[in-house]
Amino acid sequence: MTKILCIEDERFLREDIVEEMADAGYQVIQACDGREGLEMIVEHKPDLVVSDISMPNMSGSELVVRLRSDFPQFADMPVIFLSALADRNDVLDGVRMGADDYLTKPIDYEMLIAKVEASLRQSDRMVKRKEQEQAKLCKKLNHDNELEDFEFRWPEMQSRRIVLVGRSDKGLWHIQRLLEELGHDVQVFTSGRAYLDKIENKKLKADLALLWFHSDDMQAIMIPRMAADKSIPSILIVPEDLYKPGMSIERGGFLEALGLPLEDEQLVDKIKYWTEFGAAA
């Protein structure tokens, strides 16, 4: 059974979270602060951690820093933050330091379970990918001992100026890192209105825009309708916790509407098509 650690200093809230996740079929252990949580991680090796940020003795951000720096055996263990709206900067700091996702209080338990499921699926894919890479490496080593020829290379692409518009999210950051690895010039807007202002004032030049389903202040589907300048081809990206297989996505004013998850190889193929044909349209 999947084991989840809940770290929360408010006892009644912690008990509610534990009960909801237990009802969802998970084995749940709990801790009252980051220091106890770190001890529980080392002892019980949970599959995922749900943690508050502001706590006595050790905060959630401090926990993630310790975990990622001092305990490499837990480097791939997903961590989901729970935060008050006032903790937004703490959330961003924590995610940049290694947390995987966050949920604001008061807690929407249905959304929490969805984020837990999505993080576990992503973690499982990472484990399987590492196993596949290790199997490929072993096969290559058995064939010959020359590692120089064993190197995966992304396809070469013409560098493009690409805009990402959306709320801070691990999936969006993953796409940003992938675009940068492919050699593209990437600019990020967390505010849809700020992006629109740049367009309307003719202060933004880009070959392509990838619009996350939500920005901090508006849904992406509203942006093409409000943009006076339609010269930047736009792609709608629906994140994993909102997209369901078989879900119909209205393209609207978008070049394409895409639901996640996708394997990196599939996403790279999409990016290659968008940058070579969509950006030239």
| Residue 23: half-sphere exposure toward Cβ, Cα within 13 Å | 10
pLDDT of amino acid 144: 52
Which pLDDT belongs to residue 18?
95
What would the DSSP string read from start to end of 104-150? ESSP-HHHHHHHHHHHHHHHHHHHHHHHHHHHHHHHHHHH-S--TT-
Dihedral sign computed on CA atoms, order 64, 66, 68, 69: positive
Q: Mean pLDDT, consecutive 10-residue segments, the chain of 281 residues?
A: 93 94 94 94 93 90 85 84 73 69 87 89 75 69 51 75 87 87 90 88 89 87 79 87 69 81 88 76 48
pLDDT of residue 33: 94
Reading the block at residue 129, the tokens are: 């990918």
Domains of the chain: 3-119 (3.40.50.2300), 161-278 (3.40.50.2300)
Amino acid at 166: G
Residue 238: predicted pLDDT: 87
The whole-number pLDDT of residue 249 equals 63
The four Cα atoms 179, 271, 267, 233 give a dihedral, to 10 degrees, of: 100
CA–CA distance, 24 with 148 (Å, rounded to integer): 47
pLDDT given at position 148? 47
Distance, in Å, from the CA atom of 78 to the CA atom of 92, rounded to the nearest integer, reads 16
For residues 114 and 208, give the distance between their C-alpha atoms in angstroms, rounded to a whole number: 30
